């Protein structure tokens, strides 16, 4: 057997996402590209790895073996990054990190807790700001690292200036949040006449909502405007509209699907206001978290590189179900 590890990663994405369409969203490729990679993998191993049925796809016994192998490869890469970051045990210094709420909760805070034991000489200063302020502070030299967001289909999160570089941390799926009293949609097209909550301008959510509108072929009806995802959940619970939110914005396990494990699966978000249902639909795309750092002859400093490696490790462990 001569299986290409890159195709194993595609199989793992299909398994985690619950289907070919959802995996294509996560991987930012077309569904046909995913299907082609799976077909080539089956040709390499000589057996079927997926069972396709009316309710989606599931792994064959051989597919489960290969998906588990892909997970082990992924884990080994994470450990390798961790080992490289720990080569210099005498790292000390302060690293100033700027980010927004969901990135702080999912990546920055876990890294701060991890560094307290793995690299006790490293101190993190964390600041929460909006996009424009994050970029201003980094240009002024007041932040070493900033975490930015983008809708993956809409280009980079902000202009990449000379002397800076972006590192992709993770791609998270967008979810639709609807009032519990509303019929659960099975397709995005069923929400074309719905009232949508408007997202603050210059956010990934606003750009993603514009992309959804173009995909539906007609302007969406929007009311209200939010910048805080908790506010959006409360407005949906009050029946004031439906919202497009990233998985990390939802309480409970990040982006965990419903019991169906397939597109169209639903769940009530633990800790969310009563009356909210989270729906996973194909075609919603993903939000990307990007780590931006200065890149010059002297930067990033070793201590900054160690923090970047820790963030990459933590981001790789985020589970969207």
Q: Give the tens place of pLDDT for each residue, 5-45.
A: 888 999 988 888 888 888 888 787 888 989 999 999 998 89
Of the candidates 194, 162, 206, 181, which has an alpha carbon nearest to the alpha carbon of residue 277? 181
Sequence-ordered strand ranges (E) for the chain: 50-53, 56-59, 93-99, 122-128, 145-151, 164-179, 195-199, 221-226, 243-246, 266-267, 276-279, 286-294
For 66, the 3-state DSSP assignment is: helix
- In the DSSP assignment, the letter for residue 242 is B
Report whether 232 contacts 243 (CB < 8 A). Answer: yes
Could you report the per-residue pLDDT of 238-289, keeping only the tens digit for each? 999 999 999 999 876 443 333 333 334 444 444 456 789 999 998 899 999 9
| pTM over cut 0.85 | no
* Conformational region of residue 261, where left means phi above 0, alpha means psi within -120 to 50, and beta covers everything else: left
Whose structure tokens read 């080994």?
Answer: 76
Report whether 13 contacts 74 (CB < 8 A). Answer: no
For 123, the 3-state DSSP assignment is: strand
Q: How many residues does the chain have?
A: 321
The whole-angstrom distance between residue 133's C-alpha and the CA centroid of its chain comes to 23
Measured over the CA atoms of residue 177, residue 180, residue 185 and residue 186, the dihedral's sign is: positive
Q: Does position 65 have pLDDT exceeding 50, yes or no? A: yes
């Amino acid at each position: 057997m001569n299986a290409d590890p890159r195709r194993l990663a595609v199989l793992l994405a299909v398994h985690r996402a619950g289907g070919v369409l959802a995996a294509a969203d996560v991987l930012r490729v077309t569904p046909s590209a995913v299907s082609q990679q799976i077909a080539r993998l089956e040709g390499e191993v000589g057996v079927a790895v997926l069972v396709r049925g009316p309710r989606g796809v599931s792994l064959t016994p051989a597919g489960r073996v290969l998906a588990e192998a892909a997970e082990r490869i992924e884990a080994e890469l994470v450990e390798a990054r961790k080992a490289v970051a720990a080569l210099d045990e005498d790292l000390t210094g302060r690293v100033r990190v700027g980010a927004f709420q969901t990135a702080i909760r999912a990546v920055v805070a876990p890294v701060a807790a991890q560094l307290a034991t793995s690299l006790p000489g490293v101190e993190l200063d964390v600041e929460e700001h909006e996009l424009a302020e994050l970029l201003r502070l980094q240009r002024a030299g007041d932040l070493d690292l900033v975490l930015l967001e983008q809708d993956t289909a809409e280009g980079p999160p902000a202009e990449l200036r000379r002397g800076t570089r972006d590192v992709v941390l993770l791609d998270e799926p967008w979810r639709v949040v609807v009032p519990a009293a509303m019929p659960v949609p099975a397709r995005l097209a069923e929400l074309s006449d719905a009232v949508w909550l408007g997202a603050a301008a210059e956010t990934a959510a606003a750009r993603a909502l514009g992309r959804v509108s173009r995909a539906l072929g007609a302007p969406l009806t929007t009311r209200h405007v939010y910048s805080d995802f908790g506010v959006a959940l409360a407005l949906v619970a009050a029946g004031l509209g439906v919202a497009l939110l990233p998985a990390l914005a939802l309480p409970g396990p990040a982006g965990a699907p419903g019991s169906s494990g397939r597109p169209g699966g639903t769940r009530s978000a633990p800790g969310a206001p009563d009356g909210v249902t989270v729906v996973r639909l194909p075609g919603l795309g993903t939000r990307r978290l990007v780590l931006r750092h200065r890149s010059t002859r002297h930067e990033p400093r070793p201590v900054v590189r160690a923090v970047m490696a820790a963030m990459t490790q933590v981001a790789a462990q985020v589970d969207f179900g």
